[in-house]
Each structure stands twice: as C-alpha cells, then as structure tokens.
Structure 1
Amino acid sequence: MLLKLLVFLVPAAFASDPTQRQLKPVKGVPHSRLHLYQPSTTDTFRCIDGSQTILYSQLNDDYCDCQDGSDEPGTSACGNAFFYCSNVGHKGNFIPTNRVNDKLCDCCDGSDEYDSGVTCPNICDELGRAARVEREKVANVARKGFQKRQEMAKEGQTLRDSKLKDVEPLRQERATLEPERSRLEQDKKSAEEAEKKLQDEHRNQWEVIRNEKKKLRAAEWFEQLDLDKSGKIDREELRQNLFLDDDNDGFVNEDEVKAYLTIDEADLEHFQSSMYDRLKSAKNRHLEEARIKEEDERERARALENAPDDDDLLAEEDRHEGEAAEPINSEDEDDKMPEYPQEVKDAQEKAREARRLFDEVNEKTGDLDAKIREAEDFANSDYGEDYSWAALKDKCFDRNVQQYTYQFCPFGQNTQKDTGAYSGTSLGSFKNWSGPEGNKYSKMHFGDGQQCWNGPKRSTDITIECGEENELVEVTEPAKCEYLFTFRTPLACSDPDKEVVHDEF
C-alpha cells in the first residue's frame, strides 16, 4: 500500500515544479516567466501584482483586465504592458505592447506583427552575427586592457609595499635626529640673543651720539632763523626762507608758514622736537629742485650754442658731474650708523654659523616628515581594490579642444588653459570616487576649482571606461563651469571571459 502511495505522489510532486514539467507557451512572455502564466487547477490567472484573479481564457484576449497589464503581454490592449521578442539568433528584448501589430517591425524576428497583415523579415541571425563580432571586438579590448591592469596592479602594490616598508626606518632616523636638532636650535637661540644684545648696545650708543649732534645742528639753525635773537622764532622770521615757497610764486605766504609753525612762536625745544626734521626735508627738497632746474637750463643753453669741440664738451660734462656728485647736505652722513665693532662682527658670525648648522638638520627632519606623511597618505588613499590606480598617481593626460588644452590628473588637479600657455584655470581637485554602488570606481569627482564669474566654483566629473591605453577621449561643459571628462584606461577593464551575458531581463 505504501509503495502505491509513493508511486502516486512522486509524479504529482514533479508536476507541481515548473522546472520539471512542460510549460505552455504564452505570446509575449519570455521562458523565464512562463511559470507565472500557467493555468491553475481552477483554470484561472492571478494578475502579477496580485490585485485580482481572472479566467485563464482572458489572457491575451485583447482586453485589459489587470491593472498592471500583466494579462495582455501579447496584445496592445494595455498601455502599461511589455511584449517579449524572442529574437532567436540575436538577443531577446522587451517592447511596449502598444507597438504590437502596429504594422511596424520592432522585433528582429517579426514576432510583434503576428496579426497585422505585415510580413516582417527575420533578420536576427544577421544582427546576431554583427553583435557577436562587436562583442568580440569589445572583449578583445577588455582582454588586453585587463592584462595591462593586472600589470599596473602589481606596480601599484609594489609601490605601496615599498612606501610602507620605508616608513619605520624613516621614523627611526627622525627620532635619532631630533635630540641634535633640539640642541642646535638652543645653540642658535643663544647665539642670536647674544648677537642682538651687542647690536642693540652699539645702536643705542650711536643713537645717543646722533641725537646730540642733531640737537647741536638744530640749535645752530635755530640761531640763524631767530633773526631778532629773542630766543624764539615767529612766523615773520620763518617767512624769510624761500625754500618754504611750495607754489614757487616768489614769496612765502601765511599758509606755507603755518604748515611748519602751528603756534605763534617756537622756542628751541619746540623747534628741535617738532620743526627741525620737517624744515630740513623741505630745504633739501628745495635744493634738489634748484639743482635739477639749473642742469636743465644748462642743457638748453648748450643746445642753443654752436656745436663745441668734443674736448670742451667732455670737460663741461665732467665739471657738472662733479657738481652733481656733491651731497646736498653733509649732515646726512651723521644719520648713517657706523660699522659694527669687531666684537659685534664676531657675534654675528657665530650666530650665522649656529643658524646654518640648525637649518641643515632642520631641513633633514623636514624632509623625513614629508616622506613619512607621503607614505602614510599613500597607504590610506583609495587606489582601487587591487591598488592598480596607484600606478597613475602624479601622472596627467591632455586633450586639445579648439583653443584649449584640458588636463586630467588622477588624484591631483584638473586644468583648462589656452593651448601653448604655461598656466591655466583650475577645474577642481580630486575629492572622491563617485560611481554607483557596486561600480564605485567608474566615476571620479573633482571640486573646489577656480570661482566662475557670477557662478559656482568649477568642478569636473570623470566617466571611466575600459580601453587598451590611458587616454582622455572627451571633454564637454554641459552646464556653466561644470565639466565632464571621459577617460579610457586598462584600469576599468575586467576579465571578459568571466562575465555572464543575460539575454532576458
């Protein structure tokens, strides 16, 4: 009895499995979905969205019963349904059902015009052959590119390992140099303090002497300006000095005097503190202007004379050169600080040597710090799952478009410049990989480029495609200051022999 029951149940079990029984074909439905369109035990069909159940005989009856259009995959009754073209010999595809029996051949096998009266030639074999040739061509490019990618991945991994291997020795060397650097820094500080102290002492001594001389010169000039010897200078006395004639009208007016004497009378103390330097500058300026004017007049006079002998002309020029070489005011010599004594020079030399020794060690430690940072940054950067992109670090690729040269530098900065120019406009620096989930390394984003006039900062998005060589193949600007680059590289190639092509979706 048990044996008979098993014989009865096993065929029933197989019959309930759509992969184990013969599926009834339904027009417009791919084989992968046929199990959804098989009649139930009650000879009904449940809409794919589960919204309702209809009679199985209502499938493809040219009337839309299901809201999702799933009951009419082979007719044009539902506007939201799709018809499947089997396209044997080529690639199956879906078309909207409103194209079914519209007297236009959409499927390469002509199956969409089964009831329109139009005879469509079956060109699937021809299209399939062309598609296979193209696929093989693309596969060959991908195959060669993938081989180069593997080589570049080894190069990137070797570079990473080398940099990481060098980090610890660099840190040890840095630690060894630090005590010496600290000692030399302290030596430099002490030597510079001693140098500054001696320089300040010398300068202060000179300034005391200079100020005393200045007071004496000011007192002498005060005596000359104090015409009535009253111990004070008034505006009338100051008006007698034509070097204050700023407008060159031949006399000194009230306003020109007030510019230097703001009170009614000036005693010696006020003259020394508030008037002497300004009057001295005014006098020197007046003398310089007079000298230039005199030279101009001599030049004009020579031009009006008959051409003199060469010897006379040279003698005249030498005489005037001698006059011009004389200082306007010998008092300026007192404003120059005398040369440092030997004690200060020795301190200066000692400080220079201390700075040199410190700078040498400090430069070495700075170089070591930079190398350590570079290695750590390299190790923490995202150069792809196999590190192949590391092979393109610090490399750039150009493309000329009309009068511009565009430059793409992975992990660096993109630029636009006039062809032949040395510098250009920044189109942004590398920010991140921006490809979609599952294909992260298919896009790059560059941002924070040079600000546009009345616009945003420039930015660039890079689309990365498989190619045998590294090449910037396209540059566009779809929006103001937003650029799109297309870059082909072996680094975007995967193994075509491991890819699976699906004809149905």
Structure 2
Amino acid sequence: MLLKLFLLFVPAAFAEDVTQRQLKPVKGVPHSRLNLYQPSTTDTFRCLDGSQTILYSQLNDDYCDCKDGSDEPGTAACGNAHFYCSNVGHRGNFIPTNRVNDKLCDCCDGSDEYDSGVDCPNICDELGRAARIEREKIANVARKGFQKRQELAKEGQTLRDSKLKDVEPLRQERATLEPERSRLETDKKSAEDAERKLQDEHRNQWEAELDLDKSGKIDKEELRQNLFLDEDNDGFVSEDEVNAYLTIDEADPEHFQSLMYDRLKTAKRNHLEDARIKEEEEKERARALENAPDDDDLLAEEDRHDSEDVTSNQESDDDNDKMPEYPPEVQVASEKAREARRLFDEVNQKTQDLDSRIREAEDFANSDYGEDSAWAALKDKCFDRNVQQYTYQFCPFGQNTQKDTGAYSGTSLGSFKEWSGPDGNKYSKMHFGDGQQCWNGPKRSTDITIECGEENELVEVTEPAKCEYLFTFRTPLACSDPDKEVIHDEF
C-alpha cells in the first residue's frame, strides 16, 4: 500500500520539479510521459511499477532491468514494453518494443527503425491527410445523423409523454365500466341458467319418450325402435346403425345429453327432410299421371293412395319419434340469453381494449429507450436485408426473423432481451434470445452491433456460430455530436 501511495505522489511532485527546466526527450516515450523519465538528483530511475531503482544511464541500454519493461521503451530488450511512434503529421501510436529495429517499418515516421540500417520513408503527412479526409467524412455523417437523432429524441419523448399521460384517464374509464360489466355478467349468467334449465327440461322430456321401459336409461333395444336411424332405408334399424349413436350398453341422462342428444336431433332433422323430399316427388308423380287416358290412371291413383298411406304412416311414426320443438317459453329464454350475451360482450370488449392500452402504456414507461427516449421512435418498426435466398428482419424491441425471400412467415431468431453494450456505451449493442430451437442445437439468438449512420439501415447479417446471428444496424440514434468529441493521439 505504501508503495502504491509513493507511486501516486512522487511522479506528481517530480513533475513539478522538472517543469522548471526543459524535459529531456527519451526514445519511445510520448511527451505526456516524459516527466516520468527525467533524471533524478541522484541520476537514478525508478521502475514505473515501483519494483526497483536503477541508474539513469541504464535507460534504453538494450538490457531489461525493470520487471514491467519500463526502462526499455526504445529498445527490443523487454518483451512486455511499448514503443511510442510520434508520427508528426498523423496520429501517434504505440507498438510492441519487439518490433523496434526489426528491419520492418511500423511507424509512419520510421522512428522504430532508428538503428536497424533500414531507411524508412516518412509518410505521416500523406497518411495524415487521408485520415483527416476520412475523419471529416465520418464527422459529416455523424453531424447529419446527430441532427436526426435530436429530432427522433423529440419524437420519442413526445410519444413517451403521451403514453404516460393517457394511463390515468384510461384507468378511470376502466373503473367506471367495471360495475356495469359485473352487472351484465351477472345478468348473462342468470339468463343462460334459465335458458339451460328450460332446454334441459325439454331434452329430458324427449329422453323420457325414448326411454320406453321408464328405467331412467336408454338401451340399444329402445334406440332400435326409432326408424329415423334407418340410414340405409331397409325398413329396420340394424345393430351397426344403433352403435353409431350408442357404443355402450345403456346411456344415463348425463351420457345422453352430452354425447347423444345433438347427434340424434340432427339425424331426426335429416330424416324428416328426406321424407319431405320423397313426399314432394310422389305428389309430382301423381300430378303427372292425372291426365293418363287409359286404365293406367286407375293404377296410378291406387299407387298415389298407397303412397299417401305410406307417407301418412311414416309421418305418424316420425311424429311419435320426433323431439318436440322448443316451446315459446324456451324460445323467449334463448332470446333473452342471446341479448344478455351481446350486451356483456360489448362492454367486456371495451374493458379488454382498455386493459390492453393500459398495459402498453405501463410497459412503455418501464422500458429502456435510451436516456432521452430517442429509441422509442423505432418501436414497432422493422428493417429488412436480403442475403442470398433469405430475408432477415430486425425489429428493435420486438422479434428478429429469417424467412425465404417472398415467404409470409419465417423462423424466429430471438426476441429483444436487453441492451448489451459495455459500460459507458450501453446502447451500442442489443441482445435477442429464446428464438426457435435449432435442430440438434441451441435456441436461436441474435446480437446487434449498432453504428452511427444517416439512415436507419440493416447493413450486415452473419452467422459466426451455429444458430447465433450477428446483425450490424446503422442509425442516427447511434450518432453523437462530432464537434464535441476530443481525439486523443496518445494513450
């Protein structure tokens, strides 16, 4: 601890001392650190990690004395040190000291090959001009993007304020509707109970008529007496025709009402309709024979009477088997139930719509759309990019998909989970997870790298690992004010 405190305070005190005289240049050291490499009053140098003190003459003597390599910033003696290229006219930068005097020009000013015999041309001015042009181009994009970002921030803040402002009125409207909804729900239940009770009584009456032995159950033999089940019209109801409606030996009231009633009612209706059509055909045939000039008239008349007798007998049998139509009181109860359902459904739909809008507003308030809410402007918007036969879609705060180009639906590549940028730049990345399961692999996921751009655009899609996708999205929302940024040439 004492050593660390010493390192913190001594360089500062030492710096104050050396400011009184010109700083001595040291090869491989940037100007901002020269104060750490000035000779002390005892002509010694203390390693920057504080591990030991050496003679000042041992600096850059091509022998590594300090464990941190700080005594050899200008030679290749230490493998863990760095050499500073001043690169006047361009940007200064550090390179590993093992690249010093290796006969390869790493610094644009050639300063790294000062003792290798290699003549490195100084191309810093040329590179500096190109870098400045590129920086200005990037700055222009950032400047335009930043202006749009400010507009989007206003749009997002307005949207946020609007959503939050609507929450309380929506809650009040919901509270006002709730008593009416509860009352109508009670009315609906009462009307449906009354309707169901009368319908059950009507069904029970018909069931009792089918229950010939009054045992409280209907067996196959009793069901066989109903000719409307004679689907093949052979004059009697077969075992198979009975089994189509009753697969057990006998049916109690619960079984009859839940599994047989509706089907028997339909069979009865179909049977009556067939009989009506047959009767119409017989009448038409009789009318066609009325003008016959010979004895066939007599035969036709006899056939007609026979047919009428058959139809009459059939109708008589049907009347015996047919379940009576609902009486007026049942029909009235059904109409009341329908009206009660309509009134309840109308109010209930309004409350559900209000609940949905309240949830949306609350979700908005709890969501992170950036410090100035600018990202809210992209909520519910999506951006596509075609790559070979696929179309990839990126929906901020929604779901990413991959689909065949032109297809309606696709494969989920994950839904938005969190901002995943590093500390200090949180909004530079997004993570989407829990996508569609890969065959013999993980659930699909997507990481979004966000870059500054004049327009919102999905510019790149890759799959660096199986079912793990990487998107690059350019947007004004990632642009900061370039005129306020400070470029540091030393680090």
State the partner residue of 1:53: 53
Question: How many Å separate the matches in 1 of 2:48 and 2:320?
Answer: 106
Cα-to-partner distance string for 1:22-73 (whole Å, 9 max, x where unaligned): 1111001001111111111111111111111111011111111112111111
Give structure 2 stretches of 5+ with no counterpart. 1-12, 226-235, 241-248, 253-306
Aligned pairs for 1:314-463 within 5 A? 337-463=323-449
Aligned pairs for 1:105-504 within 5 A? 105-212=105-212, 218=221, 337-504=323-490
Question: How many Å separate the matches in 2 of 1:271 and 1:381?
Answer: 62
Go from structure 1 to structure 2 and tell me whether the alpha carbon gap of 1:418 and 1:221 turns closer, same or farther (over 3 Å shift): closer
Instruction: Answer whether contact 2:91 2:489 (CA < 8 A) is retained.
Output: yes
Output the aligned Cα RMSD: 3.1
State the partner residue of 2:21: 21
Aligned-residue identity in percent: 86
Instruction: Answer whether contact 1:15 1:21 (CA < 8 A) is retained.
Output: no
Q: Quick check: 381-390 or 69-78, which moved more?
A: 69-78
Cα-to-partner distance string for 1:255-281 (whole Å, 9 max, x where unaligned): xxxxxxxxxxxxxxx9999xxxxxxxx
Question: How many Å separate the matches in 1 of 2:220 and 2:116?
Answer: 120
In the TM superposition, residue 21 of structure 1 has moved relative to its aligned partner by 3.3
The residue identity in structure 2 corresponding to 1:454 is N
Question: How many Å separate the matches in 2 of 1:359 and 1:221?
Answer: 44
Question: How many Å separate the matches in 1 of 2:401 and 2:251?
Answer: 62
Question: How many Å separate the matches in 1 of 2:489 and 2:125?
Answer: 15
Cα-to-partner distance string for 1:442-463 (whole Å, 9 max, x where unaligned): 0001011111111111110000
Question: How many Å separate the matches in 1 of 2:319 and 2:343?
Answer: 38
Normalising by structure 1, we get a TM-score of: 0.75
Instruction: Answer whether contact 2:46 2:54 (CA < 8 A) is retained.
Output: yes
Go from structure 1 to structure 2 and tell me whether the alpha carbon gap of 1:14 and 1:429 turns closer, same or farther (over 3 Å shift): closer
Question: How many Å separate the matches in 1 of 2:144 and 2:354?
Answer: 40
Other structure's SS at 1:35 match: helix
The residue identity in structure 1 corresponding to 2:117 is G
Go from structure 1 to structure 2 and tell me whether the alpha carbon gap of 1:359 and 1:62 turns closer, same or farther (over 3 Å shift): same
Question: How many Å separate the matches in 2 of 1:465 and 1:15?
Answer: 41
Number of paired residues? 402
Question: How many Å separate the matches in 1 of 2:104 and 2:359?
Answer: 66
State the partner residue of 1:75: 75
Give structure 1 stretches of 5+ with no counterpart. 1-12, 223-240, 246-269, 274-321
Instruction: Answer whether contact 2:145 2:477 (CA < 8 A) is retained.
Output: yes
In the TM superposition, residue 166 of structure 1 has moved relative to its aligned partner by 1.2
Question: How many Å separate the matches in 2 of 1:160 and 1:101?
Answer: 60
In the TM superposition, residue 79 of structure 1 has moved relative to its aligned partner by 1.5
Instruction: Answer whether contact 1:469 1:488 (CA < 8 A) is retained.
Output: yes
Other structure's SS at 1:17 match: helix
Question: How many Å separate the matches in 1 of 2:371 and 2:98?
Answer: 46
The residue identity in structure 2 corresponding to 1:207 is E
Other structure's SS at 2:212 match: helix
Normalising by structure 2, we get a TM-score of: 0.77
Q: Quick check: 482-491 or 158-167, which moved more?
A: 158-167
Question: How many Å separate the matches in 2 of 1:216 and 1:75?
Answer: 107
Instruction: Answer whether contact 1:210 1:334 (CA < 8 A) is retained.
Output: no
Q: Is 1:42 paired with 2:42?
A: yes
Instruction: Answer whether contact 1:85 1:111 (CA < 8 A) is retained.
Output: yes
The residue identity in structure 2 corresponding to 1:37 is Y
Question: How many Å separate the matches in 1 of 2:334 and 2:18?
Answer: 98
Instruction: Answer whether contact 2:15 2:35 (CA < 8 A) is retained.
Output: no
Other structure's SS at 1:378 match: helix
Aligned pairs for 1:62-101 within 5 A? 62-101=62-101
In the TM superposition, residue 137 of structure 1 has moved relative to its aligned partner by 0.4
Other structure's SS at 2:336 match: helix
Question: How many Å separate the matches in 2 of 1:345 and 1:402?
Answer: 63
In the TM superposition, residue 337 of structure 1 has moved relative to its aligned partner by 3.4
Q: Quick check: 148-157 or 98-107, which moved more?
A: 98-107
Question: How many Å separate the matches in 1 of 2:130 and 2:319?
Answer: 96
In the TM superposition, residue 479 of structure 1 has moved relative to its aligned partner by 0.8
Question: How many Å separate the matches in 2 of 1:453 and 1:333?
Answer: 63
Question: How many Å separate the matches in 2 of 1:271 and 1:353?
Answer: 38
Instruction: Answer whether contact 2:220 2:250 (CA < 8 A) is retained.
Output: no
Question: How many Å separate the matches in 2 of 1:173 and 1:157?
Answer: 25
Instruction: Answer whether contact 1:14 1:21 (CA < 8 A) is retained.
Output: no
Other structure's SS at 1:83 match: strand
The residue identity in structure 2 corresponding to 1:65 is D
Go from structure 1 to structure 2 and tell me whether the alpha carbon gap of 1:272 and 1:143 turns closer, same or farther (over 3 Å shift): closer
The residue identity in structure 1 corresponding to 2:169 is P
Question: How many Å separate the matches in 1 of 2:219 and 2:368?
Answer: 76
Instruction: Answer whether contact 2:89 2:128 (CA < 8 A) is retained.
Output: yes
Instruction: Answer whether contact 1:62 1:72 (CA < 8 A) is retained.
Output: yes
In the TM superposition, residue 170 of structure 1 has moved relative to its aligned partner by 1.1
Question: How many Å separate the matches in 1 of 2:27 and 2:154?
Answer: 53
In the TM superposition, residue 17 of structure 1 has moved relative to its aligned partner by 3.4
